[in-house]
Structure formats: structure tokens, C-alpha cells
């Protein structure tokens, strides 16, 4: 369903000499389906198909209609990490209530080793992007060997949908892997995005054999290649579903309010 659709586009200012053509600009745009906050309040209705999403990017993360699993988009394929921890490539007509994708163009690469936990990884990533991401986004790939990988998925929901926090109380499934190879797909959103998405890092994992995956809760990196794609543009597609969010829950950030 694509009724009542609106598109908001924001783009960070380029320098005076920034003459990127449209195709290049689109590759440097983070595309977002709906609000994460819509999901928070129980809007699990898919509003865009997997094939439409792939027109907007070849890497990313998200979830599926009815909160049916965690999405990992890698190398142009949309994968679903299901509630039993297994992974499948989805059909083009599968629908999606929330996602972020972009086209991955590597701006930087380095090897990382012996990163003991997810907080240490986030510290490393924050330091890495501190001078470069600015107000923009950063999409990463971490491909290699992990000593530990702790992921979660969730059971498909039935209507009437419960708020996300309530659904996760009973319907999350957890999987802990040791000595596993694969790729973490990650998104960094700046702090000002916290009304539209989650600020900071959001990480999903898919194993090298494409059989295991989920939303990353913890990890221990043995040795891996970290690739970063700084992405200054932003495009968001809203749907009519956002009316489900109670008005009193939509608050402007205090800093943005007039004095
Ligand atoms: Zn997630």
C-alpha cells in the first residue's frame, strides 16, 4: 500500500565546487522508509516492496511486514533473519514497514582486530567518524571473523499490533554464535535524528554462508575488514500509517524549541 505517501528530501550542503550529478547524489543518499517511532507504536504495516527498496540502495537494515524478522540488505540482496535465527532471501513483493538503505561506495577501509565487545566497537567507530561524518550518516560493513556474535530476531505479529516494546517482551528470540564468519551491516545516525530514527549505531549481522543472522546485541571481533561509506543525503518516505502515533508522543527536541 502506498497511499498517502509523502517524500521528504534533505541534503547536506556541498562545497561551492560540489557539482555532483544526480546519479552520484542518489548514491550518496540514505533512504528511509517511515519513522522508527511508527514501529515503536506498533505500525508494522509494510508500505514498500523489496523490489522498490532495492531501487534505493544495495545495503541496509530494517524489518518486514508484521515485524516478521530482521532485515539485512547486502550486495543488493534483501535477506530476512527469521524468528528461528535462519536467513532467507525475500521475494521482490515482500513488504517493508521500516528500513534504511543506500548504495555502498567505500570511502575508507581498515582492518580491525580483537575488539572485545560492542561498546568497544562503538567507541572505535565513533572515534573513526568523529571528524568526517559531521551532520551526515555513515553506513559500514564489517566482514570477517567474530569470536562471539549475539543476535536477536522476533516472531511475526498478528493484528491488533502491540507496541514494539511490548512485542519484544515476549516475542524476541536470541541466538549466540561462537567463531563465526560473516558481515555486520551498520548505520550511524547523528543525534538530531533521534526523533525519526535511532541516534548512534544500529548493527545487523548475516553469516558468510547466509544461513544465520539478526539484530546485533553483542559481539567480539577476532579480525575483520571495516569499510565505511559517508552519506550526506537523506530521503524519507512517509506513509498514511503515521497517524497511529498519538499526537502527545510527538515532541520537538527541546533544543529546537523557541526560547
Ligand atoms: Zn535492528
What pLDDT, on the 0 to 100 scale, is given for residue 25?
54
Quick check: 72 and 3 in contact, CB under 8 A? no
- Going from the Cα of 197 to the center of ligand 1, the distance in angstroms, rounded, reads 11
- Going from the Cα of 27 to the center of ligand 1, the distance in angstroms, rounded, reads 23
- Going from the Cα of 70 to the center of ligand 1, the distance in angstroms, rounded, reads 6
What pLDDT, on the 0 to 100 scale, is given for residue 2?
37
Q: How far apart are CA 106 and CA 143, in angstroms?
A: 13
- Going from the Cα of 214 to the center of ligand 1, the distance in angstroms, rounded, reads 7
How many CA atoms within 13 Å lie on the side-chain side of 100? 26
Residue 77, phi then psi, degrees to nearest 5: -110, 135
- Going from the Cα of 215 to the center of ligand 1, the distance in angstroms, rounded, reads 4
What pLDDT, on the 0 to 100 scale, is given for residue 15?
38
Summary mean pLDDT of the chain:
87
Q: How far apart are CA 28 and CA 20, in angstroms?
A: 10
- Going from the Cα of 99 to the center of ligand 1, the distance in angstroms, rounded, reads 9
DSSP lists the bridge partners of residue 7 as 237
Structural domain boundaries of the chain? 6-244
Quick check: 169 and 50 in contact, CB under 8 A? no
Query: If we measure between CA atoms, which residue out of 145, 134, 138 comes closest to residue 205?
Result: 145
Q: How far apart are CA 172 and CA 156, in angstroms?
A: 10
Whole-prediction pTM: 0.86
Alpha-helical regions (H) of 157-259 = 164-171
Give the three cell numbers for residue 79. 535477506
- Going from the Cα of 257 to the center of ligand 1, the distance in angstroms, rounded, reads 30
- Going from the Cα of 189 to the center of ligand 1, the distance in angstroms, rounded, reads 13
pLDDT in tens, 137-172: 999 999 999 999 999 999 999 999 999 999 999 999
Quick check: 11 and 29 in contact, CB under 8 A? yes
Q: What is the topology classification, in CATH, of domain 6-244?
A: 60s Ribosomal Protein L30; Chain: A; (3.30.1330)
Instruction: Assess whether pLDDT exceeds 80 at residue 55.
Output: yes
DSSP string computed for 127-147: HHHTTTTTTSEEEEEEEEEEE
Residues in the 5 Å CB sphere of ion ligand 1:
215
Instruction: Assess whether pLDDT exceeds 80 at residue 247.
Output: no
Quick check: 55 and 77 in contact, CB under 8 A? no
Amino acid at each position: 500500500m502506498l497511499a498517502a505517501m509523502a517524500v521528504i528530501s534533505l541534503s547536506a550542503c556541498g562545497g561551492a565546487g560540489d557539482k555532483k550529478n544526480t546519479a552520484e547524489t542518489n548514491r550518496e543518499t540514505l533512504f528511509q522508509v517511515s519513522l522508527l517511532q511508527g514501529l515503536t507504536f506498533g505500525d508494522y504495516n509494510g508500505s514498500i516492496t523489496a523490489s522498490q527498496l532495492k531501487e534505493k540502495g544495495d545495503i541496509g537494515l530494517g524489518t518486514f511486514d508484521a515485524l516478521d524478522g530482521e532485515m539485512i540488505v547486502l550486495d543488493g540482496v534483501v535477506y530476512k533473519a527469521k524468528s528461528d535465527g535462519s536467513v532467507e532471501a525475500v521475494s521482490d513483493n515482500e513488504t517493508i514497514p521500516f528500513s534504511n538503505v543506500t548504495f555502498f561506495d567505500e570511502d575508507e577501509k581498515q582492518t580491525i582486530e580483537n575488539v572485545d565487545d560492542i561498546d568497544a566497537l562503538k567507541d572505535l567507530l565513533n572515534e573513526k567518524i568523529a571528524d568526517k561524518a559531521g551532520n551526515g550518516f555513515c553506513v559500514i560493513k564489517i566482514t570477517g571473523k567474530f569470536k562471539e556474535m549475539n543476535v536477536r530476531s522476533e516472531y511475526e505479529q498478528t493484528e491488533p499490533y502491540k507496541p514494539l516494546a511490548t512485542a519484544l517482551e515476549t516475542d524476541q528470540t536470541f541466538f549466540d554464535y561462537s567463531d563465526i564468519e560473516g558481515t555486520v551491516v551498520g548505520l550511524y545516525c547523528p543525534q538530531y535524528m533521534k526523533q525519526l530514527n535511532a541516534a548512534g549505531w544500529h548493527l545487523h549481522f548475516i553469516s558468510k554462508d547466509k544461513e544465520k543472522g539478526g539484530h546485533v546485541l553483542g559481539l567480539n571481533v577476532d579480525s575483520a575488514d571495516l569499510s565505511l561509506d559517508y552519506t550526506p543525503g537523506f530521503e524519507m518516505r512517509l506513509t498514511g500509517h503515521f497517524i497511529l502515533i498519538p499526537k502527545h508522543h510527538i515532541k520537538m527536541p527541546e533544543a529546537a524549541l523557541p526560547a
